[in-house]
Structure 1
């Protein structure tokens, strides 16, 4: 259970942080607008607060994605790296870097921390949501009990006044009046089939004008669909109960809702003092506090409402200038993220177009992907074989496939989930017959790069580049100089003839190079160390070399490299003795590694899924 919660948490954590940041900013914007409109009609402010509530249910990434996928621009219209496209990425994923690093760097303490923190946070959220829902259910049952105890009425002064007001207000559906013997406040119950819960003894306390005023208030709740709006906000509260602004929005929505109905009722009766007296009489009659789950008449601060009704008349219509301003703000709130999505997609198209222009690689025509099953007789096996028409991969972890496709060390791949380190696959992919000749001419690193499109198509891989300070190693000549044997000239200049082999035996790990440049050695060392190795030896020739060492604790005992021509390896039953990788490099090849920190390009995985069916 905790493992599932950890995977879910690492997947949605950064996205949730981005969404909460965006929603909080939108709430602040709405608050500023309501302050500017504080002397205007309450229904406008109520609509703004409802928009702030809805924003919690609509991530900004949805609108950005709409712009990215629905509108197509030519890649050349927006150059890569523009400030606008950069702004789009910051707005969409301001928390993408550090949060992903927190969950994905190879740190035992961080993994242990996230192993209990994410499940604990998920369980706390579920517990809070259950408490909130339970409270609403209990309140709903209480109101339902009152409804069941009440009885419908089609006669009486209240019904006649109700039908008259329905015609005057243009309501298309009749509201059922339910008489109750309880001394509770009148209120509208239900969303799609509204009913007015009316305490029958209240009528005795009211004049005809008072009755019309209270009924006008209740019918305005029906006309404005206030119960539906309140139900939607209840969903927001249940999901985002931990966010204080959600409850702040609720208080403002309740205040502006009642104020909007007060304004409409005053317009209906044309006598503010009569309506204020009606409120006082209804509140004096009610023995209980305002009921939840119904739109009643006594909600919000009664004293403030009465003072406002008597002393602060509201203009009938909002000014044209403010209408235009609100329309502009509404258009910008929707169009801005859509536009950012368009430019973000244009930037991605630019990068793709430039990459295709610089290097056109064949693509796999068919591919079979199956979960790997170890043979108990032979132990764990990892192997890669490049065939004339494609590639065969046996038992390679998914995170290794991702790293190899980019041709970088493991520390430069961030954002992979825990299951990618243990999920191993057998892959057989082939190019079309027309691309076989082209496949024979490309370099080995390019053949690995072809795996990238396969990962995108079948595993749903999505990623972006970032710059991060990491520990890197520089490969330099050791004391006494290099001990490498230069390959004979007749070996040729074709880099595809270079061979790099890695195998494991009872002696430990063995790396062999045949007619290989030093950059191949640096790349193989990067894979073994899990960190970037930069060639600073100054050696430009091709060399034959062999190095044997025993991996340290925590280092891989299986071939980690691209496996050009390598055979699957098996594990030793006992750990061999011998020099470490660093010592073997110095003693056997006359080279050494120097550690430092540098800003390097890293790949941040945004999405990775289980493979699609074959």
Structure 2
């Protein structure tokens, strides 16, 4: 069941990452879930997909939500798991084989009168979006007769801290000239460079919470910001070599954190992070439109 799901889901993640790393991603100010009670999708279309790989995408749109060419399992994860959803594949249990293998096109739109309120929420697929989750949970209950329950648990994670004997970070909110690089959340940007085998990411106007979000996407575990730093920073991250180099103490093999954080005054500590396992009690194929 899980193998079938991953055979569909994993190849699509590269496209999502390209969207996140290479396009304008808006920031998210998550209001209380109660704000979702006044919002509901006005039109929801769920159909078996014939989308080509180039057409497959997963977006929070200006007026709703689209998951084109993805299995229902993906929308289940978006609706219930913390973001980014693909870090929590093992925390969703009881998905039937069809839920992980059959691909669907889901298009959910709000009424025109609700679009302004939706836009003001500034939700992003790479940060947990309680309002979107509440609305998707309603859709899954109505269209798939979903019955699901959660069990509190703890999972391996990384806590981002200030390094004990590392260079001090200096606040710097400048951005690259001419809008160079790629946009991250909250107005942050990064510029990627590669020279021979040396890969570096230069971050501009970047908060620790945005950095933790980026590290989560690009590393093995969920990363939480525990630095207490509230400013914006400019710094350069170097990717650690995959194989140990003689005399290089920063090299790691199969490192859970593949970036040289020490050089920018940071470190991560392995910790158990609170999470939730979601167990599907019953679910049916989506009802016809």
The answer, yes or no, to whether TM exceeds 0.5 is: yes
Q: Does 1:452 align with 2:137?
A: yes
Kindly indicate whether the alpha-carbon contact (under 8 Å) linking 1:500 and 1:511 is maintained by their aligned counterparts in 2.
Answer: no
**Equivalence for 1:370:** 47
Report the Cα offset of residue 435 of structure 1.
Answer: 0.8
What CA deviation, in whole Å up to 9, does each residue of 1:243-289 have, x standing for no partner? xxxxxxxxxxxxxxxxxxxxxxxxxxxxxxxxxxxxxxxxxxxxxxx
Distance in 1 of aligned mates of 2:202 and 2:70: 21
Q: Structure 2: which 5+ residue stretches go unaligned? A: 6-31, 124-128, 176-183, 243-253
Select 1:594's aligned residue among 269, 272, 276: 269
Helix, strand or coil for the counterpart of 1:474?
strand
Select 2:226's aligned residue among 536, 539, 542: 536
Report the Cα offset of residue 380 of structure 1.
Answer: 6.3
Q: Does 1:480 align with 2:149?
A: no
**Equivalence for 2:208:** 518
**Equivalence for 1:422:** 101
Helix, strand or coil for the counterpart of 1:540?
coil
Kindly indicate whether the alpha-carbon contact (under 8 Å) linking 1:517 and 1:541 is maintained by their aligned counterparts in 2.
Answer: yes
Would the alpha carbon gap of residues 585 and 372 (structure 1) be closer, same or farther in structure 2, given more than 3 Å must change?
farther
Distance in 1 of aligned mates of 2:208 and 2:152: 26
Kindly indicate whether the alpha-carbon contact (under 8 Å) linking 1:361 and 1:446 is maintained by their aligned counterparts in 2.
Answer: no
What CA deviation, in whole Å up to 9, does each residue of 1:461-481 have, x standing for no partner? 322221223222212234625
Report the Cα offset of residue 422 of structure 1.
Answer: 3.4
What CA deviation, in whole Å up to 9, does each residue of 1:42-96 have, x standing for no partner? xxxxxxxxxxxxxxxxxxxxxxxxxxxxxxxxxxxxxxxxxxxxxxxxxxxxxxx
Would the alpha carbon gap of residues 610 and 468 (structure 1) be closer, same or farther in structure 2, given more than 3 Å must change?
same
Instruction: Select the structure that is richer in strand.
Output: 2
What CA deviation, in whole Å up to 9, does each residue of 1:281-330 have, x standing for no partner? xxxxxxxxxxxxxxxxxxxxxxxxxxxxxxxxxxxxxxxxxxxxxxxxxx
Q: Does 1:465 align with 2:154?
A: no
Helix, strand or coil for the counterpart of 2:140?
helix
Distance in 1 of aligned mates of 2:233 and 2:214: 14
Would the alpha carbon gap of residues 588 and 530 (structure 1) be closer, same or farther in structure 2, given more than 3 Å must change?
same
Q: Does 1:613 align with 2:288?
A: yes
Distance in 2 of aligned mates of 1:545 and 1:436: 37
Would the alpha carbon gap of residues 402 and 528 (structure 1) be closer, same or farther in structure 2, given more than 3 Å must change?
farther
**Equivalence for 2:15:** none
Would the alpha carbon gap of residues 422 and 485 (structure 1) be closer, same or farther in structure 2, given more than 3 Å must change?
farther
Aligned positions of 1:220-369 closer than 5 A: 357=34, 360=37, 362-369=39-46
Distance in 2 of aligned mates of 1:473 and 1:442: 28
Distance in 2 of aligned mates of 1:501 and 1:371: 37
Q: State the superposition RMSD in angstroms.
A: 4.6
Report the Cα offset of residue 607 of structure 1.
Answer: 2.5
Name the larger-Rg structure.
1
Report the Cα offset of residue 482 of structure 1.
Answer: 7.2
Q: Output the TM-score relative to the length of structure 2.
A: 0.58
Distance in 1 of aligned mates of 2:94 and 2:200: 31
Q: Structure 1: which 5+ residue stretches go unaligned? A: 1-6, 8-102, 107-354, 490-495, 553-578
